Amino acid sequence: MAVGDAHWVLPPTRALWLPAGVVHRTGATREAVLCSLYLDPERCHLDWTTPTPVAVDGLLAHLIAYLGRHDLKDDVRLRAEGVVLDLLHPLPTTPIDVPEPVDARVRAVTAALLADPADPRSLDAHARAIGVSRRTLTRLFVHDTGMSFDRWRTHMRMRAALPLLAEGRPVSQAAHAVGYATSSAFLAAFRRTVGTSPGRYLTGDTGAEGSGGHERAVEPLGL
């Protein structure tokens, strides 16, 4: 799930609250089912004004499936929606921002990195590839993305690793796929960037490592 440059990976243990009217994009790296709840803002007591990740426990998961039925009477549906709202609790983790550049020279570099997150080339090598100096590329990167080259690449690598981990891939495999020689180096970078471990991030900070399955989102409907 993406809103602008912000990106969330939503395994079965996580959903995303979207305020009414927020333009967003969805996608999946493999076959998945996207389950969305559209709630009338006039009957919603939550005042969250920004996209907010929430934990999905067993009861909430069952309620989401239950509200997908088409044979529920209006009063039954309203009661179930009320319970859903009571079960929504924001998670402390934040999305991994990977700003999209505008400058064609910076876009050439970011396109190469997005195509191969494990690309080991240095800033100097990328500068030579696009025909500018290291100093110029450094300035362009910060001006266009608000991040240094190293920080942008780290964010991009963390975001690229999350779908692999959500599918249940080993940390070592995900780390190697995005350019880290060891799991420990990847985990240290992830904690510095996101503030928690990948396992806790994906499971709603419960401490369990790894998960796979369907994607879910919770979206209030603007009338």
Range 104-195 classified under CATH 1.10.10.60: yes
Q: Could you tell me the residue ranges of all domains in the chain? A: 2-93+212-220, 104-195
User: What amino acid is encoded at 122 in this protein?
Assistant: S
Confirm if 188 and 152 have CB atoms less than 8 A apart.
no
CA distance 142 to 42: 42
pLDDT at 83 over 90: yes
Q: Which backbone phi and psi does 74 adopt, to 5 degrees?
A: -60, -45
Express each pLDDT in 92-145 by its tens digit. Answer: 666 688 899 999 999 999 999 999 999 999 999 999 999 999 999 999 999 999
pTM of the model: 0.65
User: Which residues pair with residue 90 across a beta bridge?
Assistant: 54
Structural tokens at position 57: 């426990």
Asked if pLDDT for residue 9 goes beyond 70, the answer is yes
pLDDT tens-place string over residues 150-178: 999 999 999 999 889 888 889 999 999 99
Name the pairing type of β-strands 6-7 and 34-39.
unpaired
For 53, list phi and psi in degrees, rounded to 5: -70, 145
Confidence of residue 4 (pLDDT cuts 50, 70, 90): confident
Measured between alpha carbons, how far is 48 from 70 in angstroms, rounded to an integer?
A: 28
